[in-house]
Structure 1
Amino acid sequence: MAAFTLSLDPCSVPRHFPPSSSSPSPSPSPSPLTRQPHFRFPCERPKPAAVSFSSSLQGAPAYFPVQKGRSSSSLRTAAVRHVEGSLTRTEGLRFGVVVARFNEIVTKPLLEGALTTFRKYSVREEDIDVVWVPGSFEIGVVAEKLGKSGEYHAILCIGAVIRGDTSHYDAVANSAASGVLSAGLNSGVPCIFGVLTCDDMDQALNRAGGKSGNKGSEAALTAIEMASLFQHHLH
């Protein structure tokens, strides 16, 4: 057991002076409730108090041992739980796919890439429903309708918006994105944004099975993972 030695500040110790012997008559004894005046010697302020440790572990850092067999809440660390969707647990998952017919030269390869990915990860064809709509602007309302039906675990939204000479591109692209977002929030079913927004047709074709891959396939992977996450962990 360590021993502690603490030095005190002599300036803080009160001093009492007895009455002088030359006084003609002693003053009456003060009442027990009367406080005696305190006097302090003027002195130089000492250095801060030092604490010394007398221990067999001289030079080693002081520590307080914890008895074995006792748990301490300050020493316990709770394990963090991580959850995520799976690409292999697809049994029983159903998917709705909303596809825009406008720019079909792009959206059709995107759909084919998505269906190929669904099959690759063991999603049965009878568990996939494809709904065609005129354009990307109309995707959101249909996706929300499918989500609220309770028949699907995820909705995949596919479209292609190509920039033109007017501001029409910005209006459609923004509306498509906000529509898909609102569909997911309002229905409580994951709605995956697979709408291409490109500057020209070459960019779109490169992302629909060209040198930049197939974004429809990537969106299908996202749909599978989110459907699995909701079905197995967030239901």
Structure 2
Amino acid sequence: MADIANSKLLHTGTGILPMEDACVVLVKTEWNAAIIDELERGCVSVLEKYKVGSIVVLTVPGAVEIPFAIRQFWERTTGPKPSAFIALGCVIKGDTPHFEYVCSSVTDGVTQLNLLLSAPTIFGVLTVNTDEQAQERIGGKHGHKGEEAAITALKMISLQRSIK
């Protein structure tokens, strides 16, 4: 199992450049709304802490629709493009294979966006077996995946800016 204790992700003393001119777009789902709202709260809290200049929130029906919304926003935005996207969702396993299809679809979509767009798309989608597991990932024993997604976005923006 992935454990945040085995990562230096939360070490933010280095690797994050000033973000006043950055725009981060959160794309969140309507499913499992209470969990998604907490993921969003954690994301926004971190982005505000690092003084991200603009935070845009888009809402889509479900996880499968996340990649489409990101691509449309990228293509239709006039003016400066977003610095990063964060995909926020929660897919909880049920009794049918639907879980596997949704998880595969959104994972493949985010991967394609990372190869296609010149802004990173961060995978902040929980793929869990139970509601309890989701709760453990929004401030419980497995940390806060919304906060982690925001830190990842900031580090990726900084990485991209450092190699230009």
Q: For residue 97 of structure 1, what is the aligned residue in structure 2?
A: 26
The structural deviation recorded for 1:151 is: 1.9
Matched, 1:199 2:129: yes
The TM-score normalised by the length of structure 1 is 0.60
Richer in helix (by share): 2
SS of structure 2 residue aligned to 1:102 = coil
With CA pairs under 8 Å and 6+ residues apart, which has the higher RCO, 1 or 2? 2
> Superposition pairs for residues 38-187 of structure 1, below 5 Å?
86-124=15-53, 127-148=54-75, 149=77, 150-187=80-117
Aligned pair in 2 of structure 1 residues 227, 155: CA closer, same or farther (>3 Å)? same
Q: What residue number does 1:229 align with?
A: 159
Task: List runs of 5+ in structure 1 lacking aligned partners.
Answer: 1-84
Task: State the secondary structure of the residue aligned to 2:114.
Answer: helix
Could you tell me how far apart the structure 1 residues matched to 2:105 and 2:130 are? 19
Whole-Å Cα distance in 2 between the matches of residues 147 and 178 of structure 1? 18
Structure 1 stretches of 4+ moved >6 Å: none
Q: For residues 200-230 of structure 1, what are the alpha-carbon distances to aligned partners after superposition, in whole Å with 9 as ceiling and x for unaligned?
A: 0000011012232210100000001111222
Q: TM-score w.r.t. structure 2 length? A: 0.84
User: Per residue, is there more strand in 1 or in 2?
Assistant: 2
Q: CA RMSD in A?
A: 1.5
Where structure 2 has 5 or more consecutive residues not aligned to the other structure, the ranges are: 1-13
Aligned partners of 1:106 and 1:204 also within 8 Å: yes
Say whether the 8 Å CA contact 1:96–1:146 is kept in structure 2: no
Amino acid at match of 1:104: A
Contact map agreement 1:99 1:159 (CA 8 A) in 2: yes
Give the C-alpha shift of residue 157 in structure 1. Answer: 0.6
In the TM superposition, residue 91 of structure 1 has moved relative to its aligned partner by: 2.5
Given residue 123 of structure 2, which amino acid in structure 1 is its aligned partner? F
Distance 2:129 2:30 in 1: 19
Classify the secondary structure of the residue corresponding to 1:194. strand
Equivalenced residue count is 148
- Work out which of the two has the higher radius of gyration on C-alpha atoms and give 1 or 2: 1
In percent, how many aligned pairs have the same letter?
Answer: 35
Q: Quote how far apart the aligned CAs of 1:181 are.
A: 1.2
